[in-house]
Amino acid sequence: MVRDAGRVVAPHSLRKNAAWMFGGQAVTWALTAVTLALLPRYLGPADMGRIGIGMAFAQLTMTIAGLGIATLVTREVARHREAATEVIATAFWLSVVFGTVGASITLAISLVLGYEALTWIAIAVFAATVPFDLLLLFGFGVLQGFEVMRYHAIWDVANKLFLLCCLVVVVVFDLGLPVFLAASFLSAALPALAVVRLMRRFTPFSPRMFSFSLARWIVAESVPIGAVNVVLIVYLGIDVILLSRLSDESASGLYATPMRLFGTMLFAPTILMTVLFPRMASTAVSDEAEFRRICTIALKAMTGVTVVAAVFAVFPGRVL
């Protein structure tokens, strides 16, 4: 048993969380594969390029604006569940403010870069989702700290199913890219408040508990985490933006689809660390031997599943 703030976490919670996450992501991958089989064929390379460019801008913005706050919140909740209420309340407002500022800066930069109107609209729509995406990331970070991950799996499946249904409607009625972009915005905006409300079932935080001194501490602690995330996202996303500047939207579209497919195949190592991280965070300060054991398992498993995911990402691409 792992005890923290009087709350007992059963040993099998890791297995249950892994089962929920792997089951949910398996369904998510299938829905994503169907979406990627339909979307490029309907929209064509140019519109797919606009989506890829918009998503690349949004991912960069979300990573920089997020600062790694969600990961920090997960760590603090896992270690001090009852005492983390003020951290959660302060991190809530930081996510809202940084997300809004980041989205505004992204819109300004994309205007200066001189993209054509429809491409800029795609960038604007995805940039507008950043504050909501950060709220979702924050909410799921809190739930992850409590080792409650079934809601994340359910939301992922529901979100992908919603987008696929919207895509079918767009294709059947030939509604075009703007309607699909609107659906993409709704898929981010609608769940945000629901997740925050759900989170409050596990922690009685109030947004009025914001602390400026704690905000400075959160930012300082989050920056190293955010720096690692920024390097990763720049590596994964900057090429789409550079390609759009060196060529056109069609070239970005041809590149974006396989990139999304490969990213989806990496769900296995992502899930592994999502499930293990809160337990690693709590045992790091309470049980050094258990912490070393979990880290060893994580390293071996991460290496294995990443290589397997990279190999198997090739085969769906040949079919699609």
Q: Which of 274, 2, 269, 294 is nearest to 143 (CA)?
A: 274
Q: Which of 234, 241, 236, 232 is nearest to 49 (CA)?
A: 241
Its pTM stands at 0.81
CA 189/CA 155 separation, integer angstroms: 13
For 59, half-sphere exposure in the C-beta direction (CA atoms, 13 angstrom radius) is 21
Q: Which of 1, 76, 11 is nearest to 281 (CA)?
A: 76
- At residue 6, what are phi and psi to the nearest 5 degrees? 80, 0
Looking at this protein, which amino acid is placed at residue 23? G
**Range of 38's domain?**
12-257
Q: Residue 83's pLDDT is what?
A: 72
> Does the residue 270 lie in any domain?
no
> Does the residue 305 lie in any domain?
no
Question: How far apart, in Å, are the Cα atoms of 98 and each of 93, 127, 132, 188?
Answer: 8, 12, 11, 17
Q: Which of 309, 317, 315, 21 is nearest to 154 (CA)?
A: 21
- E strand segments, the chain: 2-4, 7-9
pLDDT tens-digit profile, the chain (320 residues): 334 444 444 444 788 888 888 888 889 888 888 888 888 888 888 898 899 889 989 988 998 999 899 999 999 998 887 778 889 999 999 999 999 999 999 999 999 998 899 999 999 999 999 999 999 999 999 999 988 888 888 988 998 899 999 999 999 999 999 999 999 999 888 888 788 888 878 887 777 788 899 999 999 999 888 888 777 776 666 666 666 666 666 666 666 656 665 655 666 677 778 888 898 888 888 888 888 888 888 888 777 777 776 666 555 555 55
Here the tokens at position 196 are 């925050």
Q: Residue 263's pLDDT is what?
A: 59
> Does the residue 49 lie in any domain?
yes
Rg (the chain; Cα; Å): 20
> Does the residue 181 lie in any domain?
yes
> Does the residue 304 lie in any domain?
no
> Does the residue 2 lie in any domain?
no
Q: What is the DSSP string of 238-277?
A: HHHHHHHHHS-HHHHHHHHHHHHHHHHHTHHHHHHHHHHH
> Does the residue 228 lie in any domain?
yes
Residue 9: strand pairing partners:
2
Domains held by the chain: number: 1
- At residue 202, what are phi and psi to the nearest 5 degrees? -105, -20
CA 154/CA 140 separation, integer angstroms: 12
> Does the residue 170 lie in any domain?
yes
